[in-house]
Chains A and B, each alone.
Chain A
């Protein structure tokens, strides 16, 4: 298990599939976390592995990917998966904290829920 800072944001594929949210293309565009190579190795991850991301606000299982992020940070595309773990408090602005939430990431055998299953779990 590693301690990380979780950020979320737009990707080209997330944007291109955003009007097709109930398709596999959208599911694949938003259901992963990008990790730094060192963190990837530290967790002993292989291509296709899943990770469980936990913050004090929730947890979610996503696919793991190697990405261009600094060590100790993970990036999840904006969308229903990221929203399971971001900080809903808005500090009076109306804006939840979608970026920069402290949490942990660990390898897991649990499956990645579909968009519909995720909604049922809320």
Chain B
């Protein structure tokens, strides 16, 4: 059969209704991001050591040597691979007494810190589709980052109780008029870095202390805030989908903590949930899997033989800035393109092993490069959608590339052999 049903492995929406024509090598129904994911592009041709092509076995042996000989290796990435591979990655990190960190560290991890403090009043995307009559995108822009989210769940989605777009009020809170803002019923433009005081003002108004709120907060008039608070209180089922606009700007985890408190307060009046718009298709797994294995979601140090969690010390950016790792294994991620320059500087000076299907900026600094199969296209496995729903991603075309799981299994075996 030429056409196969596929599960998309690009963003956290993990659309499970795509189709793929194996003869034409082309996808259908997916967005621009998904279509590019399921298209032919340049690959890392073969495993390499210092730029020289070698066999998988040779590259893995070299990688094992680097990890075993390192005093404190950093094992980072994991958001664009499947749970089965992540599971092996956490075991590997423990064996080599390294630091496990994952992409959320520079994405939604501040939300994790907030959840540790406050809990997470959440719900599934299905519940949002069927029930939500008020949807607020706060510092998130799904039209560019999760293009089909609105259509499938949160803007124009047709649900059981909310039958069409007219029954759903969509509000965007952002510092600039994004593409999503243009589709919204209401756009609340705020000053950058003022999320926290605005959330505090909404909490004050909803708890009956509107008189404590000044005429303007973070570029928004009190009148507007009162109106927004009323809309929130009068919703039957409301949701805040927050994005990196909140986690990457001033306040970070404290912004989310305050937002969760706002949701707790709203739940005294009606039903509200809050949820992060997770980026990579399995960034949830990159946190959940170590959580079941070691108790923590990210920034985990195994150098003492047991797991310790401390983002101020063991997040990848902090470890690199402090020059506190002497080797790195980077998998399913590209920190050289996405970390601040001070962190990249240290990565350039240590031995780097890369496992990835595609050449990227990290390839340019890697000593050992191990190409892998693309999960969802050439390899199967389980991924968590952004709302924590596990979905099985498929293998639909044959390949000679090893899967991340195969590579890590072999690498773990080699490491154990060398440590014996």
Residues of A at the B interface (CB closer than 8 Å) are: 5, 7, 9-12, 15-23, 57-58, 68-70, 73, 75, 78-80, 83-84, 86-88, 90-100, 115-116, 119, 122
Would you call B250 and A16 a contact (CB within 8 A)?
no
| Min C-beta distance of A106 to chain B, whole Å | 20
Chain B residue numbers with a CB within 8 Å of A87 are 340
Main SS class of interface, B:
helix
Chain A residue numbers with a CB within 8 Å of B315 are 90, 93-95
- Name the residue of chain B whose CB is nearest to the CB of A58: B341
Interface residues of B in 308-339 (CB under 8 A from A): 311-312, 314-318, 321, 334, 336-339
Of the listed stretches B35-43, B65-73, B128-136, B158-166, chain A binds: B35-43
- Name the residue of chain A whose CB is nearest to the CB of B106: A95
Q: A22-B42, A122-B345 are in contact. Are A15 and B359 (CB under 8 A)?
A: no
A-B contact count (CB 8 A): 164
Chain B residue numbers with a CB within 8 Å of A98 are 106, 244, 248-249
Would you call B177 and A68 a contact (CB within 8 A)?
yes
- Extra contacts, 4 of them, besides A15-B11, A68-B177 (Cβ < 8 A), are A73-B192, A80-B361, A94-B315, A97-B248
Q: A95-B105, A95-B247, A96-B106 are in contact. Are A19 and B253 (CB under 8 A)?
A: no
Residues of B at the A interface (CB closer than 8 Å) are: 10-11, 32-33, 35-37, 41-42, 101, 105-107, 109-110, 113, 141, 143-145, 147, 175-179, 189, 192-193, 244-245, 247-250, 252-253, 279, 298-299, 311-312, 314-318, 321, 334, 336-345, 348, 357-361, 363-365
A14 to B337, CA, bound (A): 12
A22 to B361, CA, bound (A): 7
Chain B residue numbers with a CB within 8 Å of A16 are 32-33, 35-36
A104 to B11, CA, bound (A): 33
Would you call A78 and B338 a contact (CB within 8 A)?
yes
Main SS class of interface, A:
loop
Chain B residue numbers with a CB within 8 Å of A94 are 101, 105-106, 109, 298-299, 311-312, 314-318
Q: A57-B340, A91-B252, A93-B113 are in contact. Are A12 and B32 (CB under 8 A)?
A: yes
